[in-house]
Amino acid sequence: MIDFELDETLEGVRDMLHWFAQEEVRPIALQADRDHAFPDAFLRKVKEMGISMGALSRAEDSQKRGHGAKTVNRIAVIAGEELAWGDGAFLLSIPGPGLGGPPIQFLGSAEQKERFFGVFSRDGEPRYGAYGLTEPGAGSDVAGIRTTCKRDGDSWILDGAKCFITNGGRAEWVVVFATSDVSKGREAHRAFVVEKGTPGFRVGKIEKKMGLRASETAELILEGCRVPDANVLGASDKAQGFMGAMKTFDSTRPMVAAMAVGIGRAAVERAGDHCKAAGTFRAGMKGALLADALATAMRKLEVARLLCWRAAWMADEGMPNAREASMSKAYAAQAALEACAASVQAMGVAGCAGDSLVEKWFRDIKVFDIFEGTGQIQRIVISKRLLEGLRSF
Ligand SMILES: Cc1cc2nc3c(=O)[nH]c(=O)nc-3n(C[C@H](O)[C@H](O)[C@H](O)COP(=O)(O)OP(=O)(O)OC[C@H]3O[C@@H](n4cnc5c(N)ncnc54)[C@H](O)[C@@H]3O)c2cc1C
């Protein structure tokens, strides 16, 4: 049974993160967008404060704070919404393993977890992990990756390129997915942890993006890059890369969906305040139309939040949640996109101005229907699962 009440501890986490988002993140978000980065000193402070999105991969962290591991995914969606309410690009810039954490958590040995997660507590410097799946010719078509891995003695040789990798340029290590036989699709995928400085591994261009500009997105190139057996994730005699890549999404999609809810909510609140101050809602038919547009947007965001919570709760309970994770992502990305569009519309020129956060959120939100699986891909996952269910019915 899903409980819609947050307990005292979860409420405390939410309130603390909301305060941080409002007081520390919002005031610098526009400048970070223009600079294409958050200041290093600020990221160091974030690290010192112990704010980390590594919660997914570090369940023990939450246990130390008094939660059981069973609330880890719920904490992630609550944190995702509140911090993205402050700024979406900030959340992606929080030091830690990021998307690279879950495959290590799912497939890694105890020694690998110790070695790769240990990097983040080495000193006070902001350090990152990354997740390298997408390639210039393989985004949605994950099974079609062309980065190859060939066995050579007690190591593997990787060749290929990855693109649009969040924090890829500054990561201490990247979980890279490669295939030992391109003709075999997903059956031949393996996951490797490639460490910064490994010969044959280099960073290509840093992308200039429409939105989420303060989050670094990089191209990565692998040319005869030798990775030892000790850095292969999963059983050495089995190709488990595809499973690791997909399991990652089951736990991260609800959080990414919750981030979209946070950005949409921020935009509607800002537009509502603007319209109230301008007396717009008292302006007869125009006021009624705009009030209804914002209220409709908020209603959809609340539905999206419940979908996120359900998917996260199922993950915490150890239940298969691929369909529900995709439902939350498909619905929330669209609802938030509509919310940001309605907010710009309601504010008119004030919403389009270059120094307006609503303008930035409108640019930021589009990518939520693209990364972590596009809207179309989520719909395919949902349809397949629904049809399987119908067959058994
Ligand atoms: C800001 C940002 C950060 C990112 N971070 C990472 C990261 O850290 N790691 C990583 O590995 N990747 C990352 N990505 C890449 C992201 O996951 C891909 O962009 C995404 O998977 C879509 O792939 P694509 O862009 O190649 O689009 P394509 O797959 O080429 O799709 C183009 C269009 O075709 C549609 N389409 C494709 N296949 C089908 C189909 N079978 N049926 C119906 N429609 C279809 C898509 O929905 C889309 O509308 C990031 C991307 C962005 C923009």
Please write the tens of the pLDDT for every residue from 228-256. 999 999 876 677 777 777 878 888 999 99
Distance CA 82, CA 63 (A): 21
- The confidence score (pLDDT) of residue 62 equals 45
Distance 385 CA to ligand 1 centre (A): 21
- The confidence score (pLDDT) of residue 13 equals 87
- Determine which residue's CA is closest to atom 19 belonging to ligand 1: 371
- Determine which residue's CA is closest to atom 30 belonging to ligand 1: 139
Which among 94, 184, 90 has a CA at the least distance from the CA of 143?
184
Distance 84 CA to ligand 1 centre (A): 21
Please write the tens of the pLDDT for every residue from 73-109. 999 999 999 999 999 999 999 999 999 999 999 899 9
Which among 116, 132, 49, 126 has a CA at the least distance from the CA of 95?
126
Please write the tens of the pLDDT for every residue from 287-328. 899 999 999 999 999 999 999 999 999 999 999 999 999 999
164 Cβ below 6 A of ligand 1? yes
134 Cβ below 6 A of ligand 1? yes
Distance 141 CA to ligand 1 centre (A): 8
Distance 154 CA to ligand 1 centre (A): 34
Looking at the DSSP assignment, which residues form a beta bridge with residue 165?
A: 218
129 Cβ below 6 A of ligand 1? no
Distance CA 33, CA 35 (A): 6
| Nearest atom, ligand 1, residue 376 CA | 47
Distance 350 CA to ligand 1 centre (A): 32
- The confidence score (pLDDT) of residue 273 equals 97
Is 37 strand, coil or helix? coil
Which among 132, 61, 85, 60 has a CA at the least distance from the CA of 258?
85
Distance CA 220, CA 203 (A): 5
Q: Tell me what percent of the chain is helix, strand and coil, each rounded to the nearest 5.
A: 60, 15, 25
Full-prediction pTM beyond 0.85? Answer: yes
- Determine which residue's CA is closest to atom 17 belonging to ligand 1: 371
- The confidence score (pLDDT) of residue 350 equals 93
217 Cβ below 6 A of ligand 1? yes
177 Cβ below 6 A of ligand 1? no
Ligand 1 pocket check: which of 145, 164, 216, 379 to mutate, most ligand atoms within 8 Å of Cβ? 164
165 Cβ below 6 A of ligand 1? yes
368 Cβ below 6 A of ligand 1? no
Distance 93 CA to ligand 1 centre (A): 20
- The confidence score (pLDDT) of residue 360 equals 98
Which H helix or E strand runs over 342?
A: helix 322-347
Which among 212, 223, 213, 242 has a CA at the least distance from the CA of 107?
242
- Determine which residue's CA is closest to atom 27 belonging to ligand 1: 139
Catalytic residue ranges: 372
Ligand 1 pocket check: which of 33, 99, 131, 134 to mutate, most ligand atoms within 8 Å of Cβ? 134
- The confidence score (pLDDT) of residue 271 equals 97
Low pLDDT (below 70) residues in the chain: 1-3, 53-69, 236-237, 390-393
